[in-house]
Amino acid sequence: MTSYEGVHPTVLVRVGNRHAQIDELLAPTIQAIWECGFDTFTCCQDLAESNASWPDKLPHMARWLESRRGWMLIDFPVDSGLDFLAAVANAGPREAFYVRMTHWAAPDAWDVRIKPRDAAIFRDDIPSRFDLRLLQVTFPAFDLPEMTRRLREHAAGRSVPPAPADWSTVGR
């Protein structure tokens, strides 16, 4: 697991034989993720800050960049990412946080995507060959404390029984 070096202050996180310098705001959450046994690839505590120079070379990215101010990202291998989502969903009530993480039309909805990767993206000498390797979870920074709390509940073996959710913010 790596962080975007040089952009955000980092701290060393160790869990078993895993260790990495992690953006300081995400460090407790990454520690909790690893303690749950989930694997990660990368993380970022503020996408706009990490990519602030993009519009200099890619002007069309300015609007996207501004929309990601205050948003965090964690990348997982697909299976670990799906297990992470289930753990976080099951370790708390089905309230506004749950609706944001599960429904794309909720206010401040998480952006959860499985991204195909072409083996040829870094090799001009091979044909395109796609696989599904990355599940990317992008979420507002204000959800970080609840996410971390739920991960700790999951690690302790505690879950919340299924119950109806309030879907009124998404028109259901």
**Total number of domains constituting the chain:** 1
In a domain, 149, yes or no: yes
Decide: pTM greater than 0.85: yes
Domain coverage including residue 9: 2-158
How far apart, in Å, do the first and last CA atoms of the chain sit? 38
In a domain, 170, yes or no: no
pLDDT digits (tens, 9 = 90+) for 72-107: 999 999 999 999 999 999 999 999 999 999 999 999
In a domain, 171, yes or no: no
In a domain, 164, yes or no: no
In a domain, 165, yes or no: no
CA distances from 127 to 30, 70, 118, 155 (A): 36, 38, 9, 43
pLDDT digits (tens, 9 = 90+) for 38-64: 999 999 998 877 777 877 888 888 888
Answer for the pair 153, 159: CB distance below 8 angstroms, yes or no: yes
In a domain, 172, yes or no: no
In a domain, 115, yes or no: yes
Q: What is the mean pLDDT of the chain?
A: 92
Output the DSSP codes for 44-101: ES-HHHHTTTHHHH-GGGHHHHHHTTTEEEEEEEHHHHHHHHHHHHHTS-SSHHHHHH
Answer for the pair 121, 134: CB distance below 8 angstroms, yes or no: no
Helix axes 27-35 and 144-155, enclosed angle (nearest 10): 20
Q: HSE (CB half, 13 Å, CA atoms) of 32?
A: 22
pLDDT digits (tens, 9 = 90+) for 23-32: 999 999 999 9
